[in-house]
């Protein structure tokens, strides 16, 4: 049996689901994301172990950072709201959505201005060897 991994079985599964809403999905921190984008990254309290018998089981806490172009305040806000709602609609079964942060303007390392927010999400994961 092939060993499972968080990269493939958790972040990869989520990335695949999110890619169906026609955005640029990333399952790690991108160096220069193309908008609109959703980046799946670890949250604080990333892994919460639940050791049950001989299985290693953890609750994985993630953030989906969502970003859209900042052409105008009204358009950017509408775009990020629509994108968040589209992402929430395709999150796979077994994931729990916490909250969505308020959108804030950000400047990327590339100098691009975006409007971004964060979706808190978690799931249970059992390591298989």
| pLDDT tens for each residue of the chain, 129 residues long | 466 899 999 999 999 999 999 789 999 888 889 999 999 999 999 999 987 777 789 999 999 999 999 988 899 999 999 999 999 999 999 999 999 999 999 998 888 899 999 999 999 999 887
Measured CA distances, 22 to 2, 36, 37, 38, 45 (Å): 31, 9, 9, 10, 30
Question: Is the CA virtual torsion 122, 100, 74, 115 positive or negative?
Answer: negative
* CATH number for the domain formed by residue range(s) 6-126: 3.30.2000
pTM tops 0.75: yes
What residues does each domain of the chain span? 6-126
Among residues 89, 91, 79, which one has the least CA distance to residue 117?
79
């Amino acid at each position: 049996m092939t060993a499972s991994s968080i990269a493939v079985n958790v972040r990869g599964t989520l990335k695949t689901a999110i890619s169906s809403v026609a955005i640029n999905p990333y399952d790690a921190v991108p160096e220069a994301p193309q908008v609109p984008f959703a980046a799946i990254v670890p949250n604080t309290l990333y892994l919460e172990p639940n050791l049950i018998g001989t299985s290693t089981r953890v609750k994985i806490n993630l953030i989906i950072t969502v970003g859209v172009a900042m052409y105008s305040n009204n358009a950017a806000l509408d775009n990020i709201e629509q994108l968040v709602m589209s992402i929430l609609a395709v999150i796979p079964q077994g994931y729990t959505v916490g909250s969505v942060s308020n959108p804030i303007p950000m400047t990327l390392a590339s100098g691009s201005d975006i409007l971004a927010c964060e979706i808190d999400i978690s799931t249970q994961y059992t390591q298989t060897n």
